[in-house]
Amino acid sequence: MDSLEKDDIWMARAIELAELGSAYTLPNPMVGCVIVLDEVAIAEGFHEQFGGAHAEVNALAQIPDHTQEQLKSATAYINLEPCNCFGKTPPCVDLLLSRNIGRVVCAMKDPNPNVFGKGFERLRAAGIEVVVGVLEKKARTLNRKFIALQDPLFTRPYVTLKWAQSSDGYIDPEMNAQKGRGSFPITSKQTQKTVHQLRANNKAILVGKNTVEVDNPSLSVRHAEGNNPTRLIIDPLLELDYSALNMTREQGETWVLCEEEGHRGTLEKENVKVLPWLNLNTEEWLEKLRNEGIHSILVEGGASTLQRFLDCGCYDDIEIFISDKNLNTGLHAPKLPQRTRGKFTEMRVGEDLRKQYIREC
């Protein structure tokens, strides 16, 4: 095996570790770090949660001081450029230098303008061999939300659209959602787990009023690990009775988007925050949500809400879960735009097919 192939293998491990932080790190990146000496991984770590220790710190903490001399021959594999600035934690570059690491291999430059190549510069200036670009595409795909959120021109939250449909393209057995049979499981249990992971990986989950009326969903994370997202409900005239819903305070906050005319006060009793922003266009109220700390949103339905996001182009990823069964009739799945900006990839989740379109990064 040549050293390039070895670099790929260790970087793949760093990316695997990074992914373990998927539900807790945003808006920070997912970062993993493997320290390799004589072709053996002597330490591993990852960025476990927003505000917590960086991957390099967690990995190096596992190496006892008496191996310090040997670290001159060790390589650190990290899927992101080490930081060179004081944030909530001290710079990882300082730590790598103080621990005498001989070589650093990274997948990509940190798009954070405070870092953006300066980490590499400092390591090189100290005489450390630095390799950049190993498994870069994979690393960029993994951190596509972080990359988008660092772009000063990207001012709205990162939006993922998700729906489940039958093999023949229906999302509900009833044509009129109001007459829906309530929560009708189209896809399998395994898909449910994946969807709950998607919920945990986003700051908020958004649904329209009809979905709440028909399904009375709790919109929480139960079949995966992670925090409950903030619930965003589109209820233009504030018609729902929030005291009668399944959405408990313990399982996350509920925010309601309504029109100015619909704004009837605070709904404080039900612990619901009212945002009378719907007279603005979608892009504008999304931007306001970003300013409130909502950096990522999973839009879960129903059909007309999803269509609204598709039609105005306010989306980044699309996740479609397709069961192997037909419904023969019912409410049609949202219509994809004539031209999506990239390609869908397909993978199996239990009995279902997952079609995933992701933002180019």
The residues that touch ligand AOF, with contacts defined as CB under 6 A, are 28-29, 31, 47, 54-56, 80, 82-83, 87-89, 92, 110, 112, 115
Q: Both tokens of residue 161?
A: 């659209």
Integer angstrom CA distances of residue 313 from 49, 254, 336, 361: 31, 25, 10, 17
In this chain, which of 23, 92, 96, 294 binds Zn ion, going by CB under 5 A? 92
Is the CA virtual torsion 173, 175, 176, 179 positive or negative? Answer: negative
Q: Measured between alpha carbons, how far is 30 from 142 in angstroms, rounded to an integer?
A: 8
Residue closer to ligand AOF by CB (options 94, 292) is 94
Q: Which does 257 bind (CB under 5 to 8 A by kind): Zn ion, ligand AOF, none?
A: none
Question: Which residue reads 């990359």 in tokens?
Answer: 147
Q: Which does 231 bind (CB under 5 to 8 A by kind): Zn ion, ligand AOF, none?
A: none
Of 17-25, 87-95, 225-233, 316-324, the window that binds Zn ion (rule: CB under 5 A) is 87-95
Q: Where are the alpha helices (DSSP H) in 20-102?
A: 55-60, 92-98
Of 88-96, 169-177, 268-276, 281-289, the window that binds Zn ion (rule: CB under 5 A) is 88-96
Nearest distance in Å: CB 192, Zn ion: 35
Is the CA virtual torsion 309, 311, 317, 323 positive or negative? Answer: positive
Concatenate the DSSP letters of all residues of 262-293 into one string: G--S--GGGTEEEE--TTS-HHHHHHHHHHTT
Nearest distance in Å: CB 295, Zn ion: 19
User: How many residues are there in the chain?
Assistant: 361
Of 85-93, 116-124, 192-200, 258-266, the window that binds Zn ion (rule: CB under 5 A) is 85-93
Rounded (to 5) percent helix, strand, coil in the chain: 30, 20, 45
Nearest distance in Å: CB 157, Zn ion: 24
| Cα-trace Rg, the chain | 23
Q: Which does 143 bind (CB under 5 to 8 A by kind): Zn ion, ligand AOF, none?
A: none
Residue closer to ligand AOF by CB (options 36, 238) is 36
Nearest distance in Å: CB 82, ligand AOF: 4
Residue closer to ligand AOF by CB (options 9, 20) is 20
- Is residue 344 within 8 A of residue 355, CB to CB? The reply is yes
Concatenate the DSSP letters of all residues of 228-260 into one string: PPEEEEE-TT--S-GGGSS--GGG--EEEE--G
Q: Measured between alpha carbons, how far is 263 from 268 in angstroms, rounded to an integer?
A: 13
Residue closer to Zn ion by CB (options 34, 297) is 34
3-state secondary structure 173-189: CCCCHHHCCCCCCCCCH
Residue closer to Zn ion by CB (options 50, 344) is 50
Nearest distance in Å: CB 102, ligand AOF: 18
Count interface residues toward Zn ion (CB under 5 A).
3
Residue closer to Zn ion by CB (options 85, 280) is 85
Distance of CA 209 to the CA centre of its chain: 24
Nearest distance in Å: CB 12, ligand AOF: 17
Site for Zn ion contains 83 (CB under 5 A): yes
- Residues labelled as active-site residues: 56
Q: Measured between alpha carbons, how far is 229 from 221 in angstroms, rounded to an integer?
A: 8
> x/- site string to Zn ion, residues 47 to 66, per CB under 5 A?
-------x------------
Site for Zn ion contains 99 (CB under 5 A): no
Nearest distance in Å: CB 51, ligand AOF: 6
Q: Which does 233 bind (CB under 5 to 8 A by kind): Zn ion, ligand AOF, none?
A: none
User: 3-class DSSP state for residue 144?
Assistant: helix
Site for Zn ion contains 115 (CB under 5 A): no
Residue closer to ligand AOF by CB (options 97, 280) is 97
Phi/psi of residue 29, each to 5°?
A: -80, 165
Residues that bind Zn ion (CB under 5 A): 54, 83, 92
